[in-house]
Structure 1
């Protein structure tokens, strides 16, 4: 089998836009990220996707239209990437398109629950001229899994080491950790809010999309009573397998705690507390659910650029080396896109993509649905 090329398309719970990553894969499954492109979401689409995380008027129609808008953004990122590499659509074996998560309720209601990632896959296939693998999470749910996180299998393939136990932390809107032991065993789970609360709070009070480098948070003081109340959320005591999303961690959740505990808090102090929450939920989860001889925490996602957050993680995890995945040859903003290109490759080759030890599923499965070009 000659080397094949795949593109992974990822838009996460931070709702900032689409990362497209070009991946090569040889006959043995060894992969290399070759290039990256980014397409920001239009502000009106971002606002609509955020609104669709909650029940609302005419949401079925709005969700369908938003799925088409997401497909157009994905197609734009794909075109930009192809042009930058002077590649034609026919040279790409498949796109791995995650879609935009607006609901994630595994195991609820009927014992299976549901997870919803908005993407009009047929439209994306028509616009790009490339076959699309999509809906990666649902199959795992049907056999008792959480449907997330799905990136640990890719992390194992790319970052796993035979001489050390290492962990990979993805900090998007929600943070999740992959646990990669030297003996080949793997684990992982969602930790809790990554950027979603910090981004929402800074947008409300500073009018910016994010707190660059955590500089605003670094100017504030942690509010102990608020932090304790936030950490008392039952999710943080729930053992893996577990996953979460904006269904739980949203600004109204924060506002309710503020009203009860620190109604007159300074906004900058709330931001400092939210950053500490994002760091603590990682450190506490590792201590409670994954004690071991971890030597290195490799950070990816948008949170990898929050210097203050990385400093807090290093203080809370003094025995680990905390660094970004850049040092391992894969830039932080390319990791998740590369993971979904890898999952598309796994679908094409009829190979499993989930890790039951991570998701809680009853077995390994080929993940995704396929829409041909």
Structure 2
């Protein structure tokens, strides 16, 4: 450990749901590490639309990306300032900020693989006076990996058990799984859509950014032919390592499978079942021996989704990570605080068995205060 390095780190996460910024202040001097404070900063509808537009091919992309990267960095700085002021801390009390940035493109195809997260890390370091670690995915991609998912190493550090095989399911815009074997083995992959399609459909037809508790989906009926067509997506039958994003499971993909005569509530019910089925099939295929399942991410608040997961995965508990001491809403932001600490300690955090990289690598680029 670096002599004198603070045990406090900040993690900033803004995911594929494009809803806002999760910010956490974490204490790594405790065992286990603990969250000291959290802050959520929502995106304005206008900013969300501009980010969505950049996720599609369009004019003047480089300029728009640079401008948005700067704007996001000011928002990240605001989240950091709010955290510190609410805790009565000065910037010098924090070792580093781990900033994931906002993914606008993720292309895992061999031969043209890249991933783009918007964040002007130099500007963020300048605005906050704190060392920033960003661009966590590029080194794994350079080493032949997919650059995702990155959180399984953190899940292992905090949630592994020496006698119990556990599965952690993160349900954000995309759903991903981490298998934590009792012998210390770690595996993980994106398994398909999480909240992304449900949120987009809900916003389009109700004006609400998400289906609270899954109530709207429960009011509809599952459309078997549509569900079968969606489940035929080739990504769902790929073997790991694999990762995906809005490019594969966006509204345009859904639209190609709709006749236009479907009741909106029925489509929502079918999208919820798509997420459930993709998760359940992945657990059954890759983690049949799991004895405990823990959920994190925004999907934990969709009661209908959680109820269906419990029904489809009987004989084992399906609970939020709160049961393990970490609030399910903040696990991913916590992970990026941890990843920042790993590179400062010169500890590789990449898991080649998860991403397909040629070896474990130090992840992230450091921008000193």
TM bucket (normalised to shorter chain) is over 0.9
Q: Does the CA-based 8 Å contact 2:70-2:123 persist in structure 1?
A: yes
Q: Find the counterpart in structure 2 of residue 365 from structure 1.
A: 361
List per-residue Cα deviations over 1:293-333 (Å, max 9, x = no partner): 11111111100111110011111111331111111111111
Aligned to 2:22: 19
Q: Using the alignment, how far apart are the partners of 2:77 and 2:42 within structure 1?
A: 12
Alignment partner, residue 92 of structure 1 = 94
Superposed, 1:1-373 pairs within 5 Å as 1=3, 4-26=7-29, 30-108=32-110, 111=111, 113-259=113-259, 263-288=260-285, 290-373=286-369
Task: Give the Å deviation of 1:30.
Answer: 5.0
**Once structures 1 and 2 are overlaid, which stretch shifts more, 318-327 or 7-16?**
318-327
Give the SS at the match of 1:268.
helix
Take 1:6 and 1:155, find their aligned partners in 2: how far apart are those partners?
17
* CA deviations over 1:272-311 (Å, ceiling 9, x no partner): 00000011100011222x1431111111110011111001
SS in 1 for 2:258: helix
Shift of 1:226: 0.3
> Does the CA contact (< 8 Å) of 2:193 and 2:275 recur in 1?
yes
Residue by residue over 1:135-182, the C-alpha shift from the partner in whole angstroms, topping out at 9 and shown as x without a partner, is: 000100111111000000000011111120001111110010110011
> Do 2:137 and 2:147's aligned partners in 1 also have CA atoms closer than 8 Å?
yes
Task: Give, in whole Å, the separation in 1 of the partners of 2:333 and 2:303.
Answer: 22
CA distance in 2, matches of 1:122, 1:159: 33
**1:107 positional shift:** 3.8
Q: Give 5+ residue unaligned stretches, structure 2.
A: none
CA contact (8 A) 1:71 1:124 kept: yes
Q: Please give the secondary structure, in 1, of the residue aligned with 2:265.
A: helix
Indicate conservation of the 8 Å contact 2:167/2:287, yes or no.
no
Does structure 1 conserve the Cα–Cα contact (< 8 Å) formed by 2:113 and 2:146? no
Q: How big is the shift at 1:201?
A: 0.1
User: In 2, distance between residues paired with 1:325 and 1:89?
Assistant: 30
After superposition, the CA RMSD in angstroms is 1.3
Work out the CA distance in 2 between the residues paired with 1:31 and 1:349: 16
* 8 Å CA contact 2:179, 2:287 repeated in 1: no
Q: Please say if residues 45 and 69 of structure 1, whose CA atoms lie closer than 8 Å, have aligned partners that are also in contact.
A: no
TM-score normalised per structure 1: 0.96
Q: 1:31-78: per-residue Cα shift (whole Å, max 9, x none)? A: 222211111112211111111111101111111111111111111111
Partner Cα distance (1:308, 1:353) in 2: 35
Distance 1:230 1:165 in 2: 31
Q: After the TM superposition, which segments of 4 or more aligned residues of structure 1 sit over 2 Å from their partners?
A: none
Query: How much has 1:112 moved relative to structure 2?
Result: 5.3
Indicate the SS of the match to 1:241.
Answer: coil
Residues 17 and 39 of structure 1 are in contact (CA less than 8 Å); yes or no, is this contact kept in structure 2?
A: yes
Give the CA deviation at 1:106: 2.1
Give 3-state SS (helix, strand or coil) of 2:189's partner: strand
C-alpha distance in structure 1 between counterparts of 2:287 and 2:149, whole Å: 19
Q: Give me the whole-angstrom Cα distance separating, in 2, the residues matched to 1:33 and 1:286.
A: 29
